[in-house]
């Protein structure tokens, strides 16, 4: 199977070498690796250039959500039937993509392995225990930091949009087209970023804002926040509901989604 890895990086010198090493150590190697350097001011670019990657340097932000913009810049360069989103702070098991391709079928639109936090901080170790609450989720979805996607389906939905959670957007639209999303528990990707309390709380809050902007229901979000032990998710959701700026952005996103190609 032929696939391209796309990676977005903003000042990731601490992690990107480990991420790229794991990509190039795959038993099933990618046809190309495209790295978007998003206004980096550290050594991220120098480290990335040590590997046989295609570099795109982004000098300015044009979209509201820069991460989505970075992924779409790279995706438009993809020439293979599949592409994989691999975050710059993720390490993959050597057989990660070999296993995913052995599991994918014609009904599957996107697929990932199991994502596990491997952080050196105490909070990171606690987070890895908390991740067991994924088993309680009403719907088990792939994690966007190490996601394999059919490129033709993303073309059909008009590409990656200017949305707060592009992996969620892709999965929602793939399901709308009648395809499945899957998680393969037998292979792992490791999130290696050091977790701090501030970052953990910010991630929860922003997840709530993203759920509002992506049209997730209030009661479903409340259930997610309770069952998954993520109290700031519902706080972020309610904040977005009460924000005139966020309500206007939500209307804009809904309009753009309604106007996207549906062939």
Identify the domain boundary among 145, 165, 195: 195
Same domain assignment for residues 190 and 204 = no
Q: Cα–Cα–Cα angle for 40, 208, 68, nearest 5°?
A: 35
Tell me the whole-structure pTM to 2 decimals. 0.87
Q: Say what angle helices 66-75 and 166-176 make with each other, to 10 degrees.
A: 60
Choosing from 195, 213, 237, the residue where a domain stops is: 195
The C-alpha angle with vertex 202 and arms to 240 and 89, in degrees rounded to 5, equals: 125
Let me know whether 261 and 208 are in one domain: yes
Beta-bridge mates of residue 181? 110
- Looking at the structure, do residues 166 and 114 belong to the same domain, yes or no? yes
Residues 54-102: pLDDT tens digits?
Answer: 999 999 999 999 999 999 999 999 999 999 999 999 999 999 999 999 9
Radius of gyration for the alpha carbons in the chain, expressed in angstroms and rounded: 18
The beta-carbon contacts of 16-20 under 8 Å, at least 24 apart in sequence, are 16/44, 16/47, 16/48, 16/88, 16/89, 17/47, 17/50, 18/91, 18/192, 19/86, 19/87, 19/88, 19/89, 19/90, 19/91, 20/47, 20/48, 20/51, 20/53
Q: How far apart are CA 252 and CA 257, in angstroms?
A: 9
Considering the domain architecture, whether residues 204 and 171 belong to the same structural domain is answered as no
pLDDT at 260 over 70: no
Q: Which of 170, 195, 220 is the last residue before a domain boundary?
A: 195
Q: What are the tens digits of pLDDT across the range 197-209?
A: 787 788 889 899 9
177 shares a domain with 51 = yes
Domain that holds residue 134: 3-195
**Same domain for 102 and 42:** yes
Assess whether 26 and 113 both reside in one domain: yes
Same domain for 187 and 255, yes or no, is: no
- How many domains does one find in the chain? 2
Give 187-196 pLDDT, tens digit per residue.
999 999 887 7
31 and 89 in one domain? yes
183-200 burial string, b = 16+ CB within 10 Å, else e? Answer: ebeebbbbbbbebeeeeb
Q: Does residue 97 share a domain with residue 220?
A: no
The CB-side HSE value for 228 (13 A sphere, CA atoms) comes to 22
- pLDDT tens per residue, range 39-58: 999 999 999 999 999 999 99
Do 130 and 230 sit in the same domain of this protein?
no
* Dist. CA 195–CA 190, nearest whole Å: 13
Specify whether 47 is located in the same domain as 161: yes
| Residue-level pLDDT at 262 | 45
Sole residue written with tokens 């700026």? 245
Residue 75, domain CATH: 3.90.550.10
């Amino acid at each position: 199977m032929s696939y391209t890895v796309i990676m977005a990086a903003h000042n990731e010198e601490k992690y990107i070498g480990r991420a790229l090493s794991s990509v190039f150590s795959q038993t099933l190697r990618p046809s190309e690796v495209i790295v978007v350097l998003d206004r980096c001011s550290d050594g991220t670019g120098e480290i990335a250039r040590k590997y046989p990657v295609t570099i795109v340097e982004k000098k300015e932000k044009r979209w509201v959500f820069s991460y989505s913009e970075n992924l779409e810049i790279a995706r438009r360069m993809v020439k293979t039937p599949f592409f994989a989103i691999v975050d710059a702070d993720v390490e993959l098991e050597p057989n990660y993509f070999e296993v995913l391709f052995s599991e994918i079928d014609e009904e599957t639109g996107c697929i990932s392995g199991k994502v596990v936090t491997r952080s050196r901080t105490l909070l990171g170790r606690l987070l890895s225990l908390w991740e067991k609450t994924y088993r309680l989720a009403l719907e088990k979805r792939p994690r966007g930091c190490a996601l394999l996607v059919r490129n033709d389906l993303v073309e059909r939905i008009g590409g990656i949009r200017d949305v707060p959670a592009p992996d969620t957007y892709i999965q929602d639209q793939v399901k709308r087209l009648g395809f499945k999303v899957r998680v393969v528990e037998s292979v792992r990707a490791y999130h290696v970023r050091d977790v701090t309390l501030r970052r953990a709380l910010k991630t929860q809050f922003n997840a709530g804002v993203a759920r509002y902007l992506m049209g997730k229901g209030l009661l479903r979000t409340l259930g997610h926040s309770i069952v998954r032990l993520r109290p700031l998710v519902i706080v972020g959701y309610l904040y977005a509901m009460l924000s005139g700026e966020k309500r206007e952005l939500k209307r804009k996103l809904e309009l753009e989604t309604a106007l996207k190609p549906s062939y």
